[in-house]
Chain A
């Protein structure tokens, strides 16, 4: 187990170096001059030149990358072009804000998805199954923008139960969690159902039933545990997606997260912020994958760490 973790963690280094090079090149190669976007679109040539120099953008690309790597090695991600604040300060809080929202949505989505998935598998082809199927289809297809605004209208404007935007209290977390979590739950519910249905048709399940075990034990012990592996895979992927892809939800609910920060920073060509946030997200994504692999092992002892 320990050698497995050590090996996997050492693989992180080439991944992060690769990501940093690709991101660095990509943002430098797309058209758009950060100095112009800082100084304003019709700023004079002198003002733009002064800004470019102060941002260090007048140096050759190779030198800029060298300086970037040198700074990152000492834990310094530089300063934001837009605000002049240290990048760590820009990213820090927002990363955790996104983690809070992402985790909350994943926990909610997984619980709801697994529970409805199990129920629809057990009572498959009945009215419950088909109504959950209909709701899931709706949940997967509905755009998060529309879902978010609808939830706001209902719960905040008409009923007045929940606050609309910001993050002043735990109540602020409910609507964005629902917005992100509902489509998530719909996907997980479908995966859980199909995986469990397959497992419940296996011979060993018939054997378990033949032994005279209670149906709850058959489903709970023999069925669900074996059906969860594909679910864990999907939850892991969803988690990664929610961290970087919650932009729309973050925007609608004015949730100050890292997704929106990255989009704004790309629009403003705020290179230091883009580089650092993408690196951080890549690191998180790899860690989630690692966690997923460890979970496989716990769920299925036949899987060995090699």
Chain B
């Protein structure tokens, strides 16, 4: 080796040594580590799993924390912190055998007491957790021994395993939870493959590899989440190589990126349904024929190809077909003649005028979808006035259940239809914004909850989806696909159908 090069190498070594020595005490990233750079539109709101209510926040929290159970890539529930489980004869108590030898990031051992602490905390009134109801089915949590915990439910509860995979029920360190209480977000201590490095809210958040992780260790030493709110700015960052991975690429830019050098597009089907809701308590939507007429007047195929650039999956049932337990139902075929006939039969041969409420910028191309539907309905004589209040006002109006016609999306945080169908379809559901009521559906929804036999329960769920499809309280437009952009040398980023992103195997080659 020529001397000059040797000296240069030595210089680099000494330099790196100095840098890491100077950062020894600080909990920040040593400068010689090149993190995987991920640009996202929104910052995390909290790092306390029990206070998470949005996807971008969940995407950070789930790198640091783990749940007892989590779906694998096929959507099947597999053990994570729980190694195995069994359910009692009366289907009321579930025994979980926990994985041994795991430590939280603060050094506290993971055990049955930690599980009990976590669930007791989210259920406690003082915590005022916004998703306390995600543990509503749980009656009590008992510590049987160090590594065995028994979860008792009030009544037989089939979706328990899926429910336990919800990010709100990720297990937190009891000592961090007690010590920090509502400041837990500042120093979260989970069991995940990454721990928190540094967080500058609104700007940047770095997670670093947990070298004591019980499973396969993270492929990257660190991942940096940078907040870049503007869609086109994120795309430019990907093109210039300033980011390795970017979230939510707008469909209109997909073709452009496909041709760009060094960049690839990642598309994943998702749990989010985009639908048009109709309010059955307002005229003329109290008439089934009018609702059917609307369903036949909206050309969902054209919306997918023309507005969405084919980014999305067709379907007619309220639950996305990639959710385990959901049913495949074909969308209403586009048939303007039939639509006009149905309108005439319902007493509206010349159509009618209606206010259609849409979101702007909340779902991919929502405004464009609204405008396209407006044009399609005009062809059968329905005059649509588009209304787009900002989302705060929109959400308040929706919850009053008075909007006649609205565009909305619904996701599925647990990947089990029970959670969202109960909210959106049951007559008492808070997310049933169109006042849909069907006794048979309500009864089936109650029954499926306690039906632990999978095949039987899936049939009940299928009937709920089919019946609500036939009653047309909403028209499903499509299931939203997620589009991420990556540099060509990025490997192992896993975008899940439940909209989470796993970075444990991600690296830049």
Contacts and interface: CB of A to CB of B under 8 A. Distances in A.
Interface of A: 30-33, 36-47, 50-51, 53-54, 82-85, 90, 93-94, 149, 152-153, 156-157, 160, 163-167, 251-254, 256, 260-261, 266-269
* SS class, residues of chain B in contact with chain A: mixed
B431 interface: yes
Interface in B89-138: 125, 128-133, 136
Nearest to B183: A84
Interface in B225-239: 226-230, 232-233, 236-237, 239
14 contacts: A31-B392, A36-B395, A41-B399, A42-B423, A43-B131, A43-B133, A44-B430, A50-B129, A94-B202, A160-B240, A165-B233, A251-B229, A254-B233, A269-B392
Given A82-B45, A160-B240, A252 B392 contact: no
A47 B130 contact: yes
Given A33-B399, A43-B430, A47-B132, 13 more contacts: A38-B130, A40-B53, A41-B399, A41-B431, A42-B410, A84-B51, A153-B236, A156-B236, A157-B236, A157-B240, A165-B228, A254-B226, A254-B227
A51 B132 CA distance: 10
Given A38-B53, A83-B45, A50 B125 contact: yes
Given A32-B395, A40-B53, A164-B233, A47 B133 contact: yes
Given A36-B396, A166-B203, A44 B133 contact: yes
A251 to B, nearest CB: 5
Contacts of B129: 47, 50
Contacts of A45: 430
A31 B125 contact: no
A163 B128 CA distance: 42
Given A31-B392, A50-B128, A149-B232, A156 B203 contact: no
B242 interface: yes
Given A32-B395, A84-B182, A165 B130 contact: no
Given A38-B130, A253-B233, A164 B242 contact: yes
Contacts of A167: 203
Interface string B206-240: 00000000000000000000111110110011011
Contacts, number: 134
Contact of B128 (A42, A51, A164): A51
Contacts of B201: 83, 85, 90
Contacts of B397: 31
B236 A152 contact: yes
A266 B396 CA distance: 14
B198 interface: no
A252 B431 contact: no
Nearest to A37: B392
Given A47-B130, A53-B128, A163-B242, A261 B233 contact: no
Nearest to B431: A42
| B interface bracket (residues with beta carbon within 8 Å of A) | 35 or more
B51 A32 contact: no
Contacts of B236: 149, 152-153, 156-157, 164
Nearest to B125: A50
Nearest to A36: B395
Nearest to B242: A164
Nearest to A83: B45
B396 A32 contact: yes
B443 to A, nearest CB: 20
A166 B226 contact: yes
B390 interface: yes
A51 B182 contact: no
B506 interface: no
B242 A165 contact: yes
Interface in B376-407: 389-393, 395-399
A51 B242 contact: no
B468 interface: no
B269 interface: no
A68 B177 CA distance: 29
B59 interface: no
A186 to B, nearest CB: 24
A157 B53 CA distance: 35
Interface in B393-446: 393, 395-399, 410, 423-424, 429-431
A229 B349 CA distance: 69
B185 interface: yes
Interface in B426-473: 429-431
A90 B395 CA distance: 25
A27 B399 CA distance: 19
Nearest to A41: B395
Contacts of A42: 410, 423-424, 429-431
B191 interface: no
B279 interface: no
Nearest to B186: A85
Contacts of B125: 50
A266 B202 CA distance: 16
